[in-house]
Amino acid sequence: MIPLHSHPSGRHFLQIPGPSNVPDRVLRAIDNVTIDHRGPEFGELGRAVLSGMKKVFKTESHVIIYPASGTGAWEAALVNALSPGDKVLMAETGHFATLWKKMAVKLGLEVEFMDGDWRHGADADKVKARLQADTEHAIKAVCVVHNETATGVTSNIPAIRKAIDAAKHPALLMVDTISSLGSIDYRHDEWGVDVTVSGSQKGLMLPPGLSFNAVSAKALAASESARLPRSYWDWKEMIAINAKGYFPYTPATNLLYGLYEALDMLFSEGLDNVFARHDRFGEATRRAVRAWGLEILCKNPAEYSSVLTAVIMPEGHSADAFRKTVLTHFNMSLGQGLSKLSDKVFRIGHLGDLNDLTLCGTLAGIEMGLDKAGVPHRKGGVQAAMDYLAGSAAAPAVKAA
User: Which residues are annotated as part of the binding site for substrate?
Assistant: 347
CA–CA separation, 269 vs 199, rounded Å? 20
Q: Do residues 346 and 337 lie in contact, with contact meaning Cβ atoms separated by under 8 Å?
A: yes
Q: Do residues 155 and 303 lie in contact, with contact meaning Cβ atoms separated by under 8 Å?
A: yes
Please report the beta strands in 115-265, taking only residues with DSSP state E, as ranges in sequence order.
139-145, 147-148, 153-154, 172-176, 195-199, 211-215
The CB-side HSE value for 374 (13 A sphere, CA atoms) comes to 4
The CB-side HSE value for 234 (13 A sphere, CA atoms) comes to 14
Q: 34 to each of 23, 30, 31, 37, 362, how far by Cα in Å?
A: 20, 9, 9, 9, 36
Classify 341 as helix, strand or coil. Answer: helix
Both ends of the chain: CA-CA distance in Å?
45
Binding residues: 347
Phi and psi, residue 139, nearest 5°: -75, 125
Q: Do residues 369 and 13 lie in contact, with contact meaning Cβ atoms separated by under 8 Å?
A: no
Classify 344 as helix, strand or coil. Answer: coil
Residues in the chain: 401
Q: Taking each helix axis from N to C terminus, what angle separates 253-269 and 271-292, rounded to the nearest 10 degrees?
A: 80
Vertex 28: Cα angle to 22 and 33 (nearest 5):
130
> Which residue type occupies 241?
I
